[in-house]
Structure 1
Amino acid sequence: MGILGRGMAWWWRIVLIAVLWEFQSVVCREVTVPPGPLYRVAGFPLSLPCTVSGFEGSRTQDFEWFLHHEDAEGRQIGVVSTRDRGFPYALFQERVKSGEVRVERDSGNKARLVIQRLRPEDQGRYECYTPSTDSRYQGSYSSSVVVKVIPDTLLITHSRILSGQPVIEGTELQLACAASIQSMQHTHVSVTFGMRGSTGSGSLGHNLKEIISIDRELRVTPGRGGSYEKRYNNGEISLEKRSGDEGRDLYILKISMLALEDSGSYFCEAAQWVLDPSGQWERIAQRTMELGNLSVQPLADTLSVSTVPVGEVALQPGSPLSLTCLVSGAGSWNRSALLVQWLRRGPAGGVEVEVARMSPNGVVSWGDDISSEGGGSMEKGAEGRFSLRRFSTHPADAGQYRCAVSVYAGQLSPAPSSPATLTQRSEGVMVSLKTKEVSVLAVVELPRWPLLKRGSTVTLLCNVSVVTKGPTQVEVQWWQKKRELDGKEDMPPLHAKGGILAKLTYDGMSHIYSNGSELSVDRISAGTYRLRIFSAHEDDQGDYQCQAEVWTQDPHGGWYNTGARAESAMVHVYLYARVTDLLLIPLVVGVSSALFVGVVIIAMVTCCFMKRLARQRSQLRK
C-alpha cells in the first residue's frame, strides 16, 4: 500500500505540471483597441480606449501610444506615455504639457488616449503598447487602429433670436434653427432644443433643461426634466423637421402655451454622428447656437377686465340697455380662447346669477335670469369688446351687472372639462329703473252658505283692486296650506304659505298644479278671480290664499311685471260629511249587531243540543 500511495502522488504531480503548462500556453497577454477605421472630425475630441489582459505582475499596467503617419514610411512618433514624461516626440510635447493630449485611466488595465482637439496631421495609425511585466515574453503587447480625420462641415444657423422682451403667459413660442453637414463619409445629424432656466432670484443660472430633440434616426424625444414629457404628450410641445434652403434641414420648435417655467435662455444644439465598425454610434462633432433670453410674464399681471359705462345707469321702463366688457392683456387674440359671462345681482343683493355667456367658440346662451319678453343680444365687437344689449328693460332687469372673463391661454378650442388658466371679474355697474307708483289689494272670499260637503264643488273668490296710471293686468296665484293633524303636518308645505295650486297669468293663460283634485281658475269680472275645486275630498281641506302681481305696459307696448304684489289673508276650508254618509253609519252598525246576536244564539243552541245528545247515548249503553 505504501508503494501504491507513492505512485499515485507522483502521477498527480505529472498531471498538475501538464495542466499548468497548458494554462500558460493558453493564458497570455493581449492588448485590445476598437476596430477601425475610426472617422473623427477635426477640431473635436478623440478618445481611444485600450485594454490589456492575461498579464502577470502589477495590476496597474503602463501604456504608451505611438502614431504611424501614412506617409512616414512606418516611422513611429511617440505620443504619450504613463511612465515616461520624456516619451512624447517634439510634435506632441507642447500638447501633452498643456493637457490637450493625455492618457486617462479607467482602471489599472484600462486607459484611453484623449486628444482634446484633433488636427488634420493627427490622422494615421495609432498603436497602444503595454511594456511587459510578465516572467515570459508571450502574447501580444500592442494593438493599433486607423484614425481618419475628416473636415468639420457641421453648420448651424438660426432664423431669428429672442428679443428678451416679456411675453405673456399662454402665448405661442416658435423657434427655428438650420443644421447641415457636407461630408464624404456617411454621418447623421441630431438636433436638440434646450434652455438654461432661472435660478429663482431673477437671474439666469445653469439649470440646464433639455426641451425636445430629434435623434440621428429621426425619433422625436421630449426632455425628461420638468414637465416637458407631459406637455409633449398633450400636444403642447412639438419638433418638426423641414427641408430648408441651400441643402440645410430646418428644425422648428413649437410651444403652443408658454408657462412661467419656460423663462430662461434658449439654445439649439446640433451633433454629428458616425457608425463605428464596432456597431456603436459615436458623436464626433457638436455645435451650439444661442437663441436668446425669454421672460414669461404671468397672465394675472397683465389681464384687465372692465365694464363701460361705470358707476350707475338710470333708465325708464322700456328703454334699451347697452353694456360693454373690455378685455386687455390676455395675450395674442388668435391663440387664447375666452369665455365671457354677464352676471347680475339684484338691487337688494342676494345671489349673483348668470344673464348671458359667450362660449370660446362664439355660441351665446342665456341664463334663467333674463326674460324673453324684453329681448336681448350678446355680441363680440373689436378685439377685447363684448357687449350685452337689452332691447326693452323692465324692473326685473335692475341690479348690479359685471362681466367675468375666463382665459384659456394657448387653447383655441378647450374641452368643456378643461380648467381656465385665469378668471377675472370687472367692477359692477348698477342699473336702476324708475317704476310707476302702483298699489294693489287682494281679498279672498269663501261663501258661508250652503255648508261645504265632501264631493261638492268648492268656490273661492279673489277680489283684486289696483291703483295706478295706465293700463294694467293682474296675475293671480292660488296657494293651499294643510292644517296640522295630530301634531304633524298632513303634507309638507312647498312654501311658507303652502303649495301652489293654480295660476292665471296676466295674459289669461291658466296653469294647474294638480293636488289630486280637478281644479279650474278664471276671471269672472274686472277685479274678481275664481278658483273652483270639483268633487272636493278630505285632502282639499286647509287654509287658502291668493296672491296678485301687477303687470303694465312699457312705451313699446310690451308687458312687464311692476314688482307690485299683494297677498290675501288665509281662509279656512272645512268639508262636512254628506247625509248619505250619516245614514250609512247606523245601517252598518245595525247589520253588524244583528250578525253578532245571531251567531251567539246559534252557538248556544248548538252547544245545548250536543250536550243533550251525549246524555242520551250514555243511558242507552247502561
Structure 2
Amino acid sequence: MASRCIAFIALLWELQFCVCREVTLPAGPLYRVAGFSLSLPCAVSGYEGPRTQDFEWYLYREDAGGRQIGVVSTRDAGFPYAPFQSRVQVGEVRVERDSGNKARLIIQRLRPDDQGRYECYTPSTDTRFLGNYSSSVVVKVIPDTLLITHSRILSGQPVIEGTELQLTCAASVQSDQHTHVSVTFGVRSSRGPESQGHNLREIISIDRELRVTPGRSGAYGKRCGDGEIAVEKRRGDGGRDLYALKMSALAPEDSGSYFCEAEQWIRDPDGKWERIAQRTMELGNLTVQPLADTLSVRLLPDGDVPLRPGAPLCLRCLVLGVGAWKRSALQVQWMRRGPEGEVEVEVARVDPDGVVVWADDLSRAGGGSVEKEAGGSFSLRLFSVRPADTGLYRCAVSVYAGRKTPAPESPATITQRSEWVTVSLKTEEVRVSASVGLPRRPLLKRGSTVALLCNISVQTTRASRVEVQWLQEQASKDAALSEDSRGRVLATLSYDGLTLIYSNGSSLSVDRVSAGCFRLRIFSAAEEDQGHYQCRAEVWAQDPRGGWYNTGAKAESETVHLYLYARVTDLLLVPLAIGVSSALFVGVLIIATVTCCFMNTLARQRSRIRK
C-alpha cells in the first residue's frame, strides 16, 4: 500500500513539471482589407500564477528589417511605440478581453503599413520558465476593392399598399485572393413617435455560398416562403454581379429607408470564414399608404332609383384607389336588403379569379349580366326588374393586395362597402279576391270523394296568371284559422300549371275548372281530413320581355268547415257484430249440452251390459 502511494505522488510530481505555458494565435497568413478592422484573438494556457494574465503585442514590419514595434499592452499604458501611441490613446487600437486568459488585439481601421508579423507575448507568472511565452502570425493588408453601385433609387413618392417593388444593386471585388461576396437588402423604419432611433430589418440576403436567406425580423420568412419576396443574382455590365430584390406586394410596415449591403469574405487557414470588408449603399425612402386610406367604393346611380316593372336596371360599382389593377385581385359583390329591413343577401359576385356567381337562377334564365368595365368599374344588369328586386342595394369590394390569384382560404387585405341605393317600382294596382266553398250535394260521408272550389277574381290591365294554394287546419284545433296558425299546405297549383301535392295520408288532386275556378279533390276522405279549409291566391304578371314575375298581390279566402258523416254500413257494424257473437255463443252452448247428455246415456248402457 505504501509503495502505491509513493508511485502516485511521483506521478503528480512528474505531471506538474510537464505542464508548461502555451500561447496560441490563429494560423496565418491572414489577409485583411485596408480601412476595415482587424481582430486577432490570443489565448494562454498551462500557466501558474494569477488567473488573469497580461498580454503585450508587437509588430515586426517587413520593411523595418525585423525591428520590434510595441503596439499595445494590458499592463503598461506607456508601452505603445510612436507609430501606435496616438491610435491607442483614441481607442482605435486596443485590447479587449474575452476572459482572464484570452484577449484580442483590435485595430479598427487598418493601414497599409500595419502589414507585418504580429506577436502576442504574455509576461511570465510561473515559478519556472517552461514553455512558449509568445506566438506570432503574419497579417497581409490588401487594398479595398469592394464596389457597390445602384441602377436607380427610390423617388420618395408614396405608393399604395399592394404595389410591386424592384430594387437592384451591383457589387464586385478585384482581388488576387480568393474571396466571396454576400449581399443583403434591408430597411430602416421608424418604430413610431414613442421610439428612439430606427428599427433596422434585414429583408433578404444572398450569402457568401449563394444561399438565399430571408430576414429573421417581421414576417419576411413567411413572405419569402409564399413567393412574395425574392432575390436573384445575375451577370451585370462591366463584369459586376447584379443583385435584384423583388417584393410583389408592399405592406404599410414596409415603409422606411432602403439599403443594399455588400460584404467581402475570405476563408482563413483554419477553415473559418472571416468578413474582411463591408459597404452599404442607400437606395432611398419609401412610404406605403394603407389601402384603407386610399380605397373608395361607390355604387352608381346613387340615391333613389324608381323604375317600372319590366324596366332594365344597371348598378355600377366604381372602385378607386387600388393602385395597379394588374397587381391585385378583387372580389366584387352586389348585396340586397328588402324594403322592410330583411336580412342582407347576396345577389351576384365576381370572384377573384373572374368567375361570375349568381345567388339564384337569374343567370340561367338570361335575366341579368355582370361585366367588368374600364377604369375600375363593375356593372350589374337586370334586364327586367320585378317587385322581388326592390330594396336597398350596395356593393362590397374585397382587395387582395399584390396577389393576382389568391388561394380560396386566403383572407382579403381589406373589404370596403358602398353606401346604400334604393330601388323601387311604380307598380300598377292589381286587385284580387278569393272565396272557397263546397258544392251542394248530399251529405258527405267517410270514404267518399270531396271537392272544394276556390273562386278567384283578378282586376288588372296586364296579362296575368294566378297561383293557388290550399291549406287545412284539422278539426282538433281551433274552430278557425288564425293569423299565427295559418294551417298546413296541402297542394299548390303554380302560375305555370305545375301541380305540387304534399302528402297528408289521402289522395289529392288540384285542377282548374274554369278561368277563375280551381278545385281541390280529396279521394276516399277519412276522419283526419275533417277540419277547416282555406285557399290563397297570388297574382303573377308578364313583363315586356315575356317573363313572369310575382306582383305581390295576394288574397285569402274565408274558411270552410268539412265534416264527414258515418256510412250506413258503419252504423250496422256494431249490431251485426253483437248478433254474430250471440249466435255463436248459443250454438256452442246447445252443442255442448247435447254432447254431454249423449255421453251420459252411452255410459249407462255400457254399465248394464257388464252386469
Give the alignment of 1:59-208 within 5 angstroms: 59-201=51-193, 205-208=197-200
Aligned match of 1:575 in 548, 564, 568?
564
- The match for 2:605 is none
The reply on whether 1:560 has 2:552 as its aligned counterpart is no
Q: What is the identity, as a one-letter code, of the residue corresponding to 2:548? A: W
Q: C-alpha offsets along residues 440-490 of structure 1, whole Å, 9 cap, x if unaligned?
A: 1100111253233333222111101112223322221222233436x9xxx
RMSD (Å) for aligned C-alpha atoms: 3.1
Structure 1 pair 140/377, CA: closer, same or farther in 2 (3 Å)? Answer: same
- The match for 2:33 is 41
Q: Name the SS of the counterpart of 1:524 in structure 2.
A: strand
Unaligned runs of 5+ in 1: 1-7, 488-492, 611-622
Q: Name the SS of the counterpart of 2:327 in structure 1.
A: coil
Structure 1 stretch displaced more, 586-595 or 527-536: 586-595
Structure 1 pair 15/432, CA: closer, same or farther in 2 (3 Å)? Answer: closer
Q: Name the SS of the counterpart of 2:536 in structure 1.
A: strand
1:387 Cα deviation from its structure 2 partner: 0.7
- The match for 2:328 is 336
1:325 Cα deviation from its structure 2 partner: 0.9
CA distance in 2, matches of 1:76, 1:296: 59
CA distance in 2, matches of 1:541, 1:496: 17
Percent identity (aligned): 74
1:563 Cα deviation from its structure 2 partner: 1.6
CA distance in 2, matches of 1:302, 1:64: 65
- The match for 2:492 is 503
Q: C-alpha offsets along residues 181-225 of structure 1, whole Å, 9 cap, x if unaligned?
A: 222222222222222222222888322222222222222222222
Structure 1 stretch displaced more, 443-452 or 549-558: 549-558
Q: Name the SS of the counterpart of 1:564 in structure 2.
A: strand
CA distance in 2, matches of 1:121, 1:588: 136
- The match for 1:519 is 508
8 A contact 2:261–2:280 mirrored in 1: yes
CA distance in 2, matches of 1:422, 1:455: 67
CA distance in 2, matches of 1:173, 1:527: 72
Structure 1 pair 16/557, CA: closer, same or farther in 2 (3 Å)? Answer: closer
CA distance in 1, matches of 2:282, 2:544: 70
Q: Name the SS of the counterpart of 1:350 in structure 2.
A: coil
Q: What is the identity, as a one-letter code, of the residue corresponding to 2:111? A: R
- The match for 1:31 is 23
1:549 Cα deviation from its structure 2 partner: 1.5
CA distance in 2, matches of 1:456, 1:347: 48
Q: Name the SS of the counterpart of 2:344 in structure 1.
A: strand
CA distance in 2, matches of 1:290, 1:204: 21
8 A contact 1:553–1:559 mirrored in 2: yes
1:413 Cα deviation from its structure 2 partner: 1.7
1:141 Cα deviation from its structure 2 partner: 1.0
CA distance in 2, matches of 1:444, 1:100: 110
Structure 1 pair 66/374, CA: closer, same or farther in 2 (3 Å)? Answer: closer
1:604 Cα deviation from its structure 2 partner: 11
1:407 Cα deviation from its structure 2 partner: 1.4
- The match for 2:254 is 262
1:373 Cα deviation from its structure 2 partner: 5.9
1:603 Cα deviation from its structure 2 partner: 10
- The match for 1:545 is 534
CA distance in 2, matches of 1:354, 1:495: 30
Q: What is the identity, as a one-letter code, of the residue corresponding to 2:511? A: D
1:16 Cα deviation from its structure 2 partner: 6.9
Q: Name the SS of the counterpart of 1:246 in structure 2.
A: helix
8 A contact 1:164–1:295 mirrored in 2: yes
CA distance in 1, matches of 2:347, 2:78: 91
Aligned match of 2:380 in 388, 402, 405?
388
CA distance in 1, matches of 2:126, 2:459: 127
8 A contact 1:444–1:568 mirrored in 2: yes
| TM-score, length of structure 2 as denominator length | 0.89
Q: C-alpha offsets along residues 390-433 of structure 1, whole Å, 9 cap, x if unaligned?
A: 21222222222211111122222222222222221111222222
CA distance in 2, matches of 1:609, 1:78: 157
CA distance in 2, matches of 1:450, 1:309: 65
1:300 Cα deviation from its structure 2 partner: 1.4
- The match for 1:615 is none
1:296 Cα deviation from its structure 2 partner: 2.3
8 A contact 2:334–2:347 mirrored in 1: yes
Q: Name the SS of the counterpart of 1:191 in structure 2.
A: strand
Q: Name the SS of the counterpart of 1:413 in structure 2.
A: coil
- The match for 1:249 is 241
CA distance in 1, matches of 2:196, 2:151: 23
CA distance in 1, matches of 2:401, 2:343: 29
8 A contact 1:343–1:403 mirrored in 2: yes
1:589 Cα deviation from its structure 2 partner: 4.2
Q: What is the identity, as a one-letter code, of the residue corresponding to 2:437? A: E
Q: What is the identity, as a one-letter code, of the residue corresponding to 1:101? A: V
Q: What is the identity, as a one-letter code, of the residue corresponding to 1:443? A: S
The reply on whether 1:411 has 2:400 as its aligned counterpart is no
The reply on whether 1:282 has 2:274 as its aligned counterpart is yes
8 A contact 1:442–1:462 mirrored in 2: yes
Q: What is the identity, as a one-letter code, of the residue corresponding to 1:254? A: K
8 A contact 2:363–2:369 mirrored in 1: no
8 A contact 1:373–1:558 mirrored in 2: no
The reply on whether 1:224 has 2:216 as its aligned counterpart is yes
Q: Name the SS of the counterpart of 1:134 in structure 2.
A: coil
CA distance in 1, matches of 2:146, 2:577: 115
1:144 Cα deviation from its structure 2 partner: 0.9
- The match for 2:368 is 376
Structure 1 stretch displaced more, 196-205 or 95-104: 196-205
CA distance in 2, matches of 1:337, 1:577: 73
1:378 Cα deviation from its structure 2 partner: 1.0
- The match for 1:617 is none
Q: C-alpha offsets along residues 142-189 of structure 1, whole Å, 9 cap, x if unaligned?
A: 111111222222222223222333222233333322222222222222
Structure 1 stretch displaced more, 218-227 or 122-131: 218-227
CA distance in 2, matches of 1:110, 1:602: 132
8 A contact 1:354–1:368 mirrored in 2: no
The reply on whether 1:55 has 2:44 as its aligned counterpart is no
Structure 1 stretch displaced more, 219-228 or 559-568: 219-228
